[in-house]
Amino acid sequence: MNLTLRIWRQTGPEDKGRMVTYQVDDVSPDMSFLEMLDVLNERLILAGEDPVAFDHDCREGICGMCGMMINGMAHGPQRGTTACQLHMRQFKDGDTIDIEPWRAQAFPVVKDLVVNRSAFDKIIAAGGYITAPTGSAPEAHSMPVPKSDADAAFEAAACIGCGACVAACPNGSGMLFTAAKITQLSLMPQGQPERYTRVIGMVDAHDEAGFGGCTNTGECTVACPKGIPLNTIGRLNRDFLMATKKAAGKPGS
């Protein structure tokens, strides 16, 4: 199939950036979306033009490194699918496809389709863990976890940190990402001691990083390639409310 691509090109953070049109012919429907970009890049290199920079690594939908707006949709038109797992058979011969980076204040563009998502790491560093230094763990079976809680925790833990939720959100909010981790850890008995300090720390880090607020639009969960449910945000809000009530100026609570 033959395609017209309109790709966001930006040499660096200072550059204003622009859409540039490329024609790519002889695309196989069996190619993944990123393989189609590989083909374009090979041709650009041979033509002496700078190839399009984009992030990717595992190419099997689990590392969370790839991500781009494809026709205005985070990771493209197929539900529950990362850009690396999207295949060209989802498109038609003659299509024009717009490809842009994630756009959010908290994710500045590095180059072309590559953005800086280190704000996500800062949110985790601010409390997205259970303190359990190596060697200090009790025997694994000393603390049973009801299967329903373990399964729900797993569902939230499936987040790959790709940032599609932020890119899809009209507010550029990272609330689904933050809520997924809070939900996972607050559902487990191991996560209880730090439950309320965690939510305060993570939400503060989220806000400081320049993410917008959540207005329950729900675009995030639709764009999420792993289907993280929206009700995780409800859990975050409840924990946050409890935490601020409990805190009431008491240190260490």
Partner 1 sequence: MDLFTEGDPIADTKAPDGPIETRWERHRFESKLVNPANRRKMTVIVVGTGLAGGSAAATLAEQGYRVKSYCYQDSPRRAHSIAAQGGINAAKNYRNDGDSVYRLFYDTVKGGDFRSRESNVHRLAEVSVNIIDQCVAQGVPFAREYGGLLDTRSFGGAQVQRTFYARGQTGQQLLLGAYQALERQIGLGNVEMNARHEMLELIVVDGKARGIVVRDLVTGEITTEFADAVVLASGGYGNVFYLSTNAKGCNVTATWRAHRKGAYFANPCYTQIHPTCIPVSGDHQSKLTLMSESLRNDGRVWVPKAKGDDRNPKDIPEDERDYYLERIYPSFGNLVPRDIASRAAKAVCDQGRGVGPGGLGVYLDFADAIGRLGRKAVEAKYGNLFEMYERITGEDPYEVPMRIYPAVHYTMGGLWVDYDLQSTIPGLFVIGEANFSDHGANRLGASALMQGLADGYFVLPNTIANYLAAGPFEKVDESHPAAAEARRDVEDRLQRLLAVNGDRTVDSFHRELGQIMWDHCGMERTEAGLRKAIDEIRALRDQFWQRVRVLGDGEGLNQSLEKAGRVADFFELAELMCIDALHREESCGGHFRAEHQTEDGEAQRDDEHFSYVAAWEFTATGQPSVLHKEDLQFEYVHPTQRSYK
Residues 90-119 that bind partner 1 (CB under 8 A): 110-111, 114, 116-118
Q: Which of 190, 197, 217, 237 binds partner 1 (CB under 8 A)?
A: 190
Q: 137 or 215, CB closer to partner 1?
A: 137
Q: 150 or 222, CB closer to partner 1?
A: 150
Which contacts (CB < 8 Å, 24+ apart) does range 55-64 have?
A: 55/113, 55/114, 55/115, 56/83, 56/84, 58/84, 59/32, 59/34, 59/84, 60/84, 60/85, 61/85, 61/160, 61/225, 62/160, 63/160, 64/160, 64/161, 64/162, 64/163
Judge residue 130's burial from the number of C-beta atoms within 10 Å of its C-beta, 0-12 exposed, 13-18 middle, 19 or more buried: middle
Question: Taking Cα atoms as reference points, which of 212, 149, 146 lies closest to residue 178?
Answer: 212
Q: Which H, E and C letters describe 125-164, residue by residue? A: HCCCCCCCCCCCCCCHHHCCCCHHHHHHHHHHHCCCCCCH
Kindly give the pairing relationship between strand 73-74 and strand 69-70.
antiparallel
Rounded to a whole number of angstroms, the minimum distance from the CB of residue 23 to partner 1 is: 17
Q: 177 or 221, CB closer to partner 1?
A: 177
Q: 92 or 215, CB closer to partner 1?
A: 92
Q: 94 or 144, CB closer to partner 1?
A: 144
Contact status, residue 102 vs residue 150, Cβ threshold 8 Å: no
Residues 55-94 that bind partner 1 (CB under 8 A): 55-65, 78, 81, 85, 87, 89
Cβ–Cβ contacts within 10 Å for residue 45, how many? 11
Rounded to a whole number of angstroms, the minimum distance from the CB of residue 69 to partner 1 is: 17
Rounded to a whole number of angstroms, the minimum distance from the CB of residue 209 to partner 1 is: 13
Rounded to a whole number of angstroms, the minimum distance from the CB of residue 112 to partner 1 is: 9
Rounded to a whole number of angstroms, the minimum distance from the CB of residue 19 to partner 1 is: 20
Rounded to a whole number of angstroms, the minimum distance from the CB of residue 63 to partner 1 is: 4
Judge residue 24's burial from the number of C-beta atoms within 10 Å of its C-beta, 0-12 exposed, 13-18 middle, 19 or more buried: middle
Residues 4-43 that bind partner 1 (CB under 8 A): 11-12, 28-32, 34-36, 38-39, 42
Residues 203-242 that bind partner 1 (CB under 8 A): none
Rounded to a whole number of angstroms, the minimum distance from the CB of residue 217 to partner 1 is: 26
Residues 118-177 that bind partner 1 (CB under 8 A): 118, 120-121, 124-126, 128-141, 143-147, 150-151, 153-154, 157-158, 160-161
